[in-house]
Amino acid sequence: MKSKKIQGIIPPMVTPLENQDELDIEGLEKLIEHIINGGVHGLFVLGTTGEAQSLSYHLRYTLVDLAIKIVNGRIPVLAGVSDTSFVESLNFAKHAYHCGASAVVSTPPYYYTPNQKELINYFIAFADNSPLPLFLYNMPSHVKVNLDVETVVNLSMHENIIGLKDSSGNLLYFQEVVQALKKVEDFSILIGPEEMLMQSILTGGHGGVIGGANMFPKLYVEMYGASVNRDLDRMNILQEKILKICSNIYSIGNSGGGYLPGLKAALCHLGICKNVLALPYSAFGENEIREIQRKLDSMDLEEWI
Amino acid sequence: MKSKKIQGIIPPMVTPLENQDELDIEGLEKLIEHIINGGVHGLFVLGTTGEAQSLSYHLRYTLVDLAIKIVNGRIPVLAGVSDTSFVESLNFAKHAYHCGASAVVSTPPYYYTPNQKELINYFIAFADNSPLPLFLYNMPSHVKVNLDVETVVNLSMHENIIGLKDSSGNLLYFQEVVQALKKVEDFSILIGPEEMLMQSILTGGHGGVIGGANMFPKLYVEMYGASVNRDLDRMNILQEKILKICSNIYSIGNSGGGYLPGLKAALCHLGICKNVLALPYSAFGENEIREIQRKLDSMDLEEWI
Amino acid sequence: MKSKKIQGIIPPMVTPLENQDELDIEGLEKLIEHIINGGVHGLFVLGTTGEAQSLSYHLRYTLVDLAIKIVNGRIPVLAGVSDTSFVESLNFAKHAYHCGASAVVSTPPYYYTPNQKELINYFIAFADNSPLPLFLYNMPSHVKVNLDVETVVNLSMHENIIGLKDSSGNLLYFQEVVQALKKVEDFSILIGPEEMLMQSILTGGHGGVIGGANMFPKLYVEMYGASVNRDLDRMNILQEKILKICSNIYSIGNSGGGYLPGLKAALCHLGICKNVLALPYSAFGENEIREIQRKLDSMDLEEWI
Amino acid sequence: MKSKKIQGIIPPMVTPLENQDELDIEGLEKLIEHIINGGVHGLFVLGTTGEAQSLSYHLRYTLVDLAIKIVNGRIPVLAGVSDTSFVESLNFAKHAYHCGASAVVSTPPYYYTPNQKELINYFIAFADNSPLPLFLYNMPSHVKVNLDVETVVNLSMHENIIGLKDSSGNLLYFQEVVQALKKVEDFSILIGPEEMLMQSILTGGHGGVIGGANMFPKLYVEMYGASVNRDLDRMNILQEKILKICSNIYSIGNSGGGYLPGLKAALCHLGICKNVLALPYSAFGENEIREIQRKLDSMDLEEWI
């Protein structure tokens, strides 16, 4: 029997850093309190927004442990275990289990490119051995392979696979998955890009893994509620705010990391954590930071911080 | 001052496995002896052909140590340290140094997609801190980003960066790099795909990192010599053999791993190591193995084993 | 001053054919009557669904002329003038004008790949010279280049450019365009893929260019109305039907033409036109036709034909 | 029986223009004399370098006619008939036949994306009906689909299909085609990118369709001879020159047309034809023209003009 469905707003937590191999522990505490105060339904540590792949294993093990202690049972914690190595990924899932995580989240391995049959074998072997239930994580831009709809349907039959986080940005795919899994109970389908949270809920999705909820958790929690209640007028007002965040904060600079340096600079400006990124990315310089500050201050978002 | 130039045939060693997290040590010894007997100029462990990314760190640390002990100074050993995490990659380089490796080889980080400026920062930070000289590894099909010619030129100025392995399969790119680096001494430019070894040497390259040299090291060593000596008649005869290996052994099955399962099955048939692959790939089944056997036996390659 | 806004359901008409270079005139008449009876808001001839690029110019000239005569002013007719040659495209726009078309629709030229600046020059030169107002047509899967949001904004300032048909299937892009053009009056933003009609209207779009409306015009006209009226319950019922059409009719066979052979076979089964496609595509064989028939008969769609 | 094999250097002729829809006839005459004086083995009009797809049909019909009259039997003329419409393409092949062309050259249709089976059907239907023998033209960057090796092998059996021009820039593919067609007599395999002419001949190719031969026909003719004679020393000297042309002339500016504006500006500077491009491209402005002049004058290429 599958565990209780995980849905709603589950922020992919930014990882506060002191330097390349040390956590900003004060920042971590502040960030988790800030997110939980926003009313979110879960916390996802070590996802793409958490720069997981750029961190050492030592740091990743410590982070899961600490984050779960800080959360202290208030909301479920999901741990990202995506790796290129099956053995490392499974070992990390066992660690997360011992720390008290509620589930693990895994992309396909992302150096080699398995075909769909190999993906199915991989995730079934993983789910058979994992002490924690598994969320599939579709992220073709970073992973190179897509989890085909048939693959997701196949894997959804496994009792230890409980959901899909789809960050493809492809609503046609998302909708196909929702249709195909309509009759699978206790399977949760979450969207990645926050610009599509509203449309994904209307399409039948169950929530969102929303980077912006590190900054403005209340905004996305309210959007989730408005979408579930089909309050189109409220949704349109909130969507306006969300799109402004995306166009103002995420599009600054020209890093290959896209929204990441902007997000971390904004959290720093909001007094939440340090502005340090793991290589291959770097913190913004003064000009970009000033631009972030100016835009944040002009967007009239205080009530959702 | 840069170290002595590494050039010639440097096989990317297959990693012999007992199972997902254990080495086939007997196979490892046999394989290394087999390769060295073929007259190669170096050995590259934990590259793409070595399934590095699919292996646990524990196994990778052990493998470098063991391989260098078996080689015992007869040829230089290069260790693959490609990772998504700068810290893990550098730690592994330090381990390889203590084991006695001659150089390390690194692709760009392959989950996030750094831009060229970020790539330069990444590799300079790495080379500044690495106790071993660094070979850049261009592998856009797996890594998603290409090392632009200007980036390679820029990095070639660093005294701890000693070469490029180019597995792009793009001769136009390879030729541009050769031209651009003509005047940089002690910088070694090696080709990946073995079908292009001949043309790459004629274009000005310095050798090849050739998966097929796990099976037939003498063949590729002879091709290298013929190419350096510009013996076009001999080259054409050898190229015929090489292309047959590629079309016969590497194209069997439809794994996302391409040539990998065929290569390992062939090494098993030649009595060198076990036919075990790390997830996400799997060893061939009976039908494909029989096909491999039939083709190997029909290709008349005994003299180059 | 721009012409009256063109919005709502504007089917991209299938081109009924007798053979490679002859129209199925009886089919053309039946099809147009069928579509108009469905209550659509316009007709788009010679789009992607109309196989425009596969037809000779002689046939294209004839088709525009005939279709406009048959429509006889009941709804606006838009003529596809996409070409690789500016001169041919403009000549065809002049012909469409003389026939009485309401507007022309053009993708970027699709053999060479202009950059965004060259795209702007191209469309401005076109709009300056065209006797008919221009709809931009974004179709990156076929054209290779995307019309960037900034490019669309720039071109929307031209008084002879009146809208965008976006067939990218990328809702993030669509939403950005809608946001960016909010204050441009009389600019119409239409969606391509019919699976996203509902979401696009909720996102602020003005209608759809819907291939399925060749078969079931009433269904899409009703969905448009329900979406404009924000009747979410009705939308969900209709969306169920639409997704079934897509998964049942468009996914049969493995032609590079995707939905095209299925659509034409279905129209033939519905007694509307002949089942003839222009090269490089071919009509379905018996097996696929039987599958289409079986699925059409089982889908309970009579009321929307 | 197939016609005599067409091989050697066959420049894809630039189309000299007065304006968007008029030929620069004086330029055309000068250019053809210039090319023939260079000793080339054939002339290919209306290829990618000839901006064929950007020109009106009226202009294309005129150009084939005029070019063949000017050539006047001195060398074979190949006419590009690539189109998205089978009927237009075949009509144009008939025109070329009446004008006296030796063969036609065709890419796959480039708006829709046929699968390999549909490509085979398309080209067989074409070859069955064409009064002139057909060269296949592989150009995946512009056409989106690649002619798979098996497809080329299949089509090479048709007696009216006499060769392949491969502009993929992929030497692995080129080599596979050469191997696969070794035993097909009278089938000619020509390379596109001039930087790879030398390596393609050593790999077993039969010549090149070389844009730079519009400027420096003698250089490429000499390279072809040196390659056939395996004069590696001479080849290296000439390759140096060729690579300089590519890096100096083709890389100026940032047009989506790549080398095209530079090539036309250079021909203008050499006094051969006007500097007019067809939309979507435009002639270089003053700065780029001065850069071209400066580089041309500094490259010491007079003897090969």
Cα–Cα distance for residue pair B270/B252, rounded to 1 Å = 17
Residue numbers in D near B198 (CB within 8 A) = 202
**Could you give the ipTM of this predicted complex?**
0.96
C21 with D110: Cβ contact below 8 A: no
The pLDDT value recorded for residue D4 is 64
Q: A237 at the C interface (CB within 8 A)? A: no
Taking one residue from A and the other from B, the number of pairs with CB-CB distance under 8 angstroms is: 134
Please state, as a whole number, how many other Cβ atoms lie within 10 Å of the Cβ of residue A169. 19
Residue numbers in D near C280 (CB within 8 A) = 86, 108-109, 112, 114, 118-119, 121-122
Chains that touch C (3 or more CB pairs under 8 A): A, D
Residue of B nearest to A111 (CA): B142
- Shortest CA distance to B200 belongs to which of B191, B211, B187, B213? B191
Q: What's the burial of A242, exposed, middle or buried (CB within 10 Å: 0-12/13-18/19+)?
A: buried
Cα–Cα distance for residue pair D80/D110, rounded to 1 Å = 14
Q: What's the burial of C41, exposed, middle or buried (CB within 10 Å: 0-12/13-18/19+)?
A: middle
Number of domains in chain B: 1
Query: CATH number for the domain including A164?
Result: 3.20.20.70
Cα–Cα distance for residue pair B218/B208, rounded to 1 Å = 13
Mean pLDDT check: name the lowest of A143-152, C4-13, D164-173: C4-13
3-state SS class at D111: coil
- Shortest CA distance to A51 belongs to which of A283, A251, A272, A248? A283
Euclidean distance between the first and the last CA atom of chain A, given in angstroms as a whole number = 38
Q: What is the pLDDT of residues A249-284, one digit of tens each?
A: 998 999 999 999 999 999 999 999 999 999 999 999
Q: What is the pLDDT of residues A31-64, one digit of tens each?
A: 999 999 999 999 999 999 999 999 999 999 999 9
C279 with D56: Cβ contact below 8 A: no
Residue C247 · residue A173 · CB < 8 Å = no
The pLDDT value recorded for residue A3 is 54
As a whole-number percent, the residues of chain C with pLDDT over 70 amount to: 99
D243 with B179: Cβ contact below 8 A: yes
Residues of C acting as catalytic residues: 137, 165
Average pLDDT (A90-119) is: 98
Q: Which of the four pLDDT bands, split at 50, 70 and 90, describes residue A301?
A: confident
Biggest distance spanned by C-alpha atoms of chain D: 53
Q: B62 at the A interface (CB within 8 A)? A: no
Query: Which among B55, B59, B114 has CB closest to A280?
Result: B114
Cα–Cα distance for residue pair B214/B31, rounded to 1 Å = 7
Biggest distance spanned by C-alpha atoms of chain C: 53
Euclidean distance between the first and the last CA atom of chain B, given in angstroms as a whole number = 38
Cα–Cα distance for residue pair C289/C269, rounded to 1 Å = 8
- Chain B closest CA to A296's CA: distance in Å? 26
Helix H or strand E segment including B43: strand B43-45
Residue numbers in C near A170 (CB within 8 A) = 169-170
Query: Which among D59, D86, D91 has CB closest to C54?
Result: D86
Q: C175 at the A interface (CB within 8 A)? A: yes
Q: D175 at the B interface (CB within 8 A)? A: yes
Cα–Cα distance for residue pair B147/B135, rounded to 1 Å = 12
The pLDDT value recorded for residue D3 is 55
- Chain C closest CA to D133's CA: distance in Å? 20
The pLDDT value recorded for residue D18 is 98
Q: What is the pLDDT of residues C84-97, one digit of tens each?
A: 999 999 999 999 99
Cα–Cα distance for residue pair B266/B304, rounded to 1 Å = 14
Helix H or strand E segment including C125: helix C116-129
Average pLDDT (A210-239) is: 97
D109 with C85: Cβ contact below 8 A: no
Residue of B nearest to A87 (CA): B56
D133 preceded by a cis bond (ω within 30 of 0) = no
Alpha helices for chain A (secondary structure H)? 25-37, 57-71, 86-99, 116-129, 140-143, 149-156, 171-180, 197-202, 217-228, 232-249, 260-269, 286-298
Determine A/C contact with 3+ CB pairs under 8 A as the test.
yes
D111 with C87: Cβ contact below 8 A: no
In the structure encoding, which two tokens stand for residue A180, read together?
Answer: 């195909």
pLDDT string in tens for chain D (305-residue length): 455 689 999 999 999 999 999 999 999 999 999 999 999 999 999 999 999 999 999 999 999 999 999 999 999 999 999 999 999 999 999 999 999 999 999 999 999 999 999 999 999 999 999 999 999 999 999 999 999 999 999 999 999 999 999 999 999 999 999 999 998 988 999 999 999 999 999 999 999 999 999 999 999 999 999 999 999 999 999 999 999 999 999 989 999 999 999 999 999 999 999 999 999 999 999 999 999 999 999 988 888 88
Please state, as a whole number, how many other Cβ atoms lie within 10 Å of the Cβ of residue C18. 14
Q: D172 at the B interface (CB within 8 A)? A: yes
Q: How many CA atoms lie within 13 A of C240 on its CB side?
A: 9
Cα–Cα distance for residue pair C222/C40, rounded to 1 Å = 10
Please state, as a whole number, how many other Cβ atoms lie within 10 Å of the Cβ of residue A137. 28
Residue numbers in B near D179 (CB within 8 A) = 243, 247
In a domain, A267, yes or no: no
Of B57, B117, B137, B295, which is the active-site residue? B137
B170 with D175: Cβ contact below 8 A: no
Residue B12 · residue B209 · CB < 8 Å = yes
Which residues neighbour B290 within 8 Å (Cβ) at sequence distance 6 or greater?
none
Which sign, positive or negative, has the C-alpha torsion A291, A296, A297, A300? positive
Phi and psi at residue B17, to the nearest 5°: -125, 145
Measured CA angle at B141 (ends B140, B145), to 5 deg: 30
Chains that touch D (3 or more CB pairs under 8 A): B, C
Residue B166 · residue B177 · CB < 8 Å = yes
Q: Write down the mean pLDDT value for chain A.
A: 96
Determine D/C contact with 3+ CB pairs under 8 A as the test.
yes
Rounded to a whole number of angstroms, the CA Rg of chain C reads 18
For residue A255, the Cα-to-chain-centroid distance in whole angstroms is 20
The pLDDT value recorded for residue B1 is 41
Listing from the earlier edge strand, what are the strands of the sheet with C77-80? C8-9, C207-208, C188-191, C161-166, C134-138, C103-106, C77-80, C43-45
Cα–Cα distance for residue pair B123/B111, rounded to 1 Å = 16
What single letter denotes the amino acid at residue C238?
A: L
Between the CA of residue A219 and those of A214, C172, D88, what are the distances in Å?
11, 19, 57
- B110: left (phi > 0), else alpha (psi -120 to 50), else beta? alpha
Euclidean distance between the first and the last CA atom of chain D, given in angstroms as a whole number = 38
Residues of D acting as catalytic residues: 137, 165
Best of A91, A106, A111, A155 to disrupt the B interface by mutation (most B CBs within 10 Å)? A111
3-state SS class at B151: helix
Cα–Cα distance for residue pair D16/C89, rounded to 1 Å = 21
Q: Write down the mean pLDDT value for chain C.
A: 96
Q: A62 at the B interface (CB within 8 A)? A: no
Best of B84, B107, B145 to disrupt the A interface by mutation (most A CBs within 10 Å)? B84
In a domain, A107, yes or no: yes
Helix A57-71 to helix A25-37 angle (10° resolution) is 40
In the structure encoding, which two tokens stand for residue A36, read together?
Answer: 């939980």
Cα–Cα distance for residue pair A5/B289, rounded to 1 Å = 44
Which residues neighbour D192 within 8 Å (Cβ) at sequence distance 6 or greater?
D139, D165, D166, D167, D168, D169, D208, D209
Residue D12 · residue D44 · CB < 8 Å = yes
Residue numbers in C near A241 (CB within 8 A) = none
Residue of D nearest to B194 (CA): D172
Cα–Cα distance for residue pair C235/B284, rounded to 1 Å = 50
Q: What is the pLDDT of residues C76-87, one digit of tens each?
A: 999 999 999 999
The pLDDT value recorded for residue A1 is 42
Residue numbers in D near C110 (CB within 8 A) = 110-111
What domain range includes position D146?
8-231
Cα–Cα distance for residue pair C97/D277, rounded to 1 Å = 28
Which residues neighbour D183 within 8 Å (Cβ) at sequence distance 6 or greater?
none
- Chain B closest CA to D238's CA: distance in Å? 12
Please state, as a whole number, how many other Cβ atoms lie within 10 Å of the Cβ of residue D271. 10
Of A69, A94, A165, A295, which is the active-site residue? A165
For residue B220, the Cα-to-chain-centroid distance in whole angstroms is 13
- Shortest CA distance to B273 belongs to which of B91, B109, B67, B88? B67
Residue C9 · residue C41 · CB < 8 Å = yes
Query: Which among C53, C254, C282 has CB closest to D112?
Result: C53
In a domain, D259, yes or no: no
Residue D29 · residue D35 · CB < 8 Å = no
D112 with C20: Cβ contact below 8 A: no
In a domain, B285, yes or no: no
3-state SS class at B158: coil
- Chain B closest CA to A229's CA: distance in Å? 36
Average pLDDT (C142-168) is: 97
The pLDDT value recorded for residue C304 is 83
* Length of chain B (residues): 305
Residue numbers in C near A247 (CB within 8 A) = 176, 179
Rounded to a whole number of angstroms, the CA Rg of chain B reads 18
The pLDDT value recorded for residue B3 is 54
In the structure encoding, which two tokens stand for residue A207, read together?
Answer: 């929530």
- Chain C closest CA to D162's CA: distance in Å? 21
What single letter denotes the amino acid at residue B202?
A: L
pLDDT string in tens for chain B (305-residue length): 455 689 999 999 999 999 999 999 999 999 999 999 999 999 999 999 999 999 999 999 999 999 999 999 999 999 999 999 999 999 999 999 999 999 999 999 999 999 999 999 999 999 999 999 999 999 999 999 999 999 999 999 999 999 999 999 999 999 999 999 998 988 999 999 999 999 999 999 999 999 999 999 999 999 999 999 999 999 999 999 999 999 999 989 999 999 999 999 999 999 999 999 999 999 999 999 999 999 999 988 888 88
Residue B271 · residue B236 · CB < 8 Å = no
Residue of B nearest to D177 (CA): B243
In a domain, C105, yes or no: yes
Which sign, positive or negative, has the C-alpha torsion A204, A207, A209, A213? positive
In a domain, C243, yes or no: no
Q: D54 at the B interface (CB within 8 A)? A: no
Cα–Cα distance for residue pair C29/C47, rounded to 1 Å = 18
